[in-house]
Structure 1
């Protein structure tokens, strides 16, 4: 999975979103009204930790471990059960964090107009 998804286009969008969200939060903290700044900070934090952090610290390493194991081996079959349970859980966390991030940033943009 990592070999397909880890490419220049995806990484640019993935890392770029984290950097832009953090930059918006920093600028907002310095210049926006406190409510808008708090929404920007919450959105950036949700993305940086819940989407970017979970992906880098958990999902990618799980993908790499799975890729190293032979599918027909006992170790591969045992890890698949763990992988499926944990990867789906953390993917759900990423999805919720992405939704929270998007909602916070959208509301901040609408309120801060």
Structure 2
């Protein structure tokens, strides 16, 4: 195995998903058509797609987006009126870092998170 090349996120409206993932989260748009789009997340493609069959239409996995400043990223989402599921909070401390997270929903109610690793003094 060489690593992850692409993840898929189930969406109901591709244009709305592109406005969110590209416009709000700032992920570069690679490709878009009526039933799917691809955005770039630091070399990993996120496929934003309308499910092809009913058995594929279910909530997806949580994606943890790494950010340098979790408070600033949280404020950006707040300003963009993104539905937030809690404020940034420390979830763990190991290897000299504190791991902080803040959860949020995309327009299709897929739960995702901001995450940041802050050096512990």
TM-based fold match above 0.5: no
Larger Rg: 1
Q: TM-score, normalising length from structure 2? A: 0.23
Q: TM-score, normalising length from structure 1? A: 0.24
More helix by share: 1
More strand by share: 2
